[in-house]
Amino acid sequence: MSADADVSAPGAAADPTRKRYELEDMGFREVPKKWRKFYRHWQGPGDTLGPNEVMCPVCKVIIRATRELRAGDKVYCMPCMSRMVVVEREDGSLEADVVF
């Protein structure tokens, strides 16, 4: 598993109910080529996040994972070097909460 898409909630690897996603390069040039598929730019008010995506609250970059994200998962934003944990809002949507 890559360092930037660190989906490491307890039992994440053993949970077969999580959907898997094939990621493609979305044109994000701010990180090394090897990690570009794990990030994309926010496209504005009409943009919606997928179940495998969460927005970094520090730099407003979308972090993408190969598996469906759930509350408690840890993610890393390489552009701003923030470590975050995914939390669930009251409305049921997911957001990232900065830990470090």
pLDDT digits (tens, 9 = 90+) for 4-55: 555 544 555 557 789 999 999 998 999 999 999 999 999 999 999 999 999 9
From residue 72, give the alpha-carbon distance in Å to each of 17, 30, 45, 86.
16, 27, 26, 5
Q: Which tokens sit at 50?
A: 């997928």
Distance CA 22, CA 12 (A): 17
Domain that holds residue 86: 1-100
Mean pLDDT of 68-80: 96
Per-residue confidence (pLDDT) for residue 34, from 0 to 100: 93
Q: Which two tokens stand for residue 51?
A: 């179940």
Q: What are 21's two structure tokens?
A: 């996603």
pLDDT of residue 100: 86
Task: For residue 2, name the pLDDT band (cuts at 50, 70, 90).
Answer: very low
